[in-house]
Amino acid sequence: MTNKIMTVREAIKEAMTAEMRADENVFLMGEDVGIFGGDFGTTVGMLEEFGEERVIDTPISESAIAGAAAGAAATGMRPIVDITFMDFVTIAMDAIVNQAAPMRYMLGGEVAVPVVYRCASGAGTGAAAQHCKALEAWFCHIPGLKVVAPGTPQDIYSVLRASVRDNNPVIYIEPKALFGRKGEVDETKVYQIGKGEVKHAGEDITLVSWGRMLERSLQAAEELKEEGIEVEVIDPITLVPLDTELIVESVKKTGKLAICHDSFKTGGFGGEIAARIAESDAFDFLDSPIYRIAGADTHIPSAKNLEVLVVPDVEAIKETLRKAVNKK
């Protein structure tokens, strides 16, 4: 089978469609996923193919949606929940954190909870403070949840299919600013949750990035190459479980580490990665401080010209990397 060119939104739809065709226990639920085709156009045409029993338009109640999905998963179904804006997951936290996440543990492993919560994350759409949060660090803190944050059309497709097949609740983070981005997708490629990838090889510094920021990190790496700075870009893809070994080995090689994400800097998952390196044998290889390149600790403005100042751009990434390798 030849690779196809897909946008990110198409990759999401095709991944869900493939899993629903393969397994009748997989179904989709959420606000506007049926007739409307999803708030971001990721479910267009799915109602017509699978019918309203498997593509379920729900009431506007994230807590009810998330709770019903957890219950359905515990009884043998494999629901995919479209939370739409990640900000709205706050309303569903009890169902996810207190029900879906600990259920398998509390029932002695006798019950699996294979549910995927799709969350459109981050700024870049001018949707302001209540519709632009990147909250992955919250979920990485909760045992029992797997957290994935793919950043390319290929990974977005393959990781979603792997998430649907996983027997644990998965927080699937979609970079909504990239829904229109295009890329090659091999529909036969299988992804193993928990494995990261080297997306750009280099010798001078390790840059760990995921989701929306991966694209900017790769652009920064390419541009710095012209200045003689070789950046190794590591995409963890899965935040929980994290492929710590991949990052450790890269840091041992380069001796330097920077971490780039679009969520708030304070309490962001970048701090966890920095701590793991500090606790590992890679720490002895570091010859400069660990740098975090992250979103500002403020609400996302609605004005476009202010919004772009809150999230790291390519120049901000390059500036930090130059500083880390002591090149101006």
How far is the C-alpha of 204 from the C-alpha of 229, rounded, in Å?
6
Q: Token pair of 140, please?
A: 């990485």
Q: Which residue's structure tokens are 């226990």?
A: 25
Give 175's Cβ-side CA count (13 Å radius): 27
Q: Token pair of 141, please?
A: 């803190």
Q: Token pair of 186, please?
A: 């091999």
How, if at all, do strands 4-7 and 182-185 pair?
Answer: antiparallel
Q: Which of 131, 136, 232, 261 is catalytic?
A: 131
Q: Which residue's structure tokens are 């609740």?
A: 169
How far is the C-alpha of 256 from the C-alpha of 98, rounded, in Å?
38
Q: Which residue's structure tokens are 């969350």?
A: 119
Confirm if 28 and 201 have CB atoms less than 8 A apart: no
Confirm if 206 and 252 have CB atoms less than 8 A apart: no
Q: Which of 62, 136, 232, 307 is catalytic?
A: 62
Confirm if 153 and 8 have CB atoms less than 8 A apart: yes
Q: Token pair of 86, please?
A: 């990640």
Instruction: Give catalytic status of residue 261 as yes or no.
Output: no
In angstroms and rounded to an integer, the radius of gyration of the C-alpha atoms of the chain is 19
Instruction: Give catalytic status of residue 62 as yes or no.
Output: yes
Nearest one of 107, 119, 172, 108 to 145, comparing CA atoms: 172
- The residues that are catalytic are 62, 131
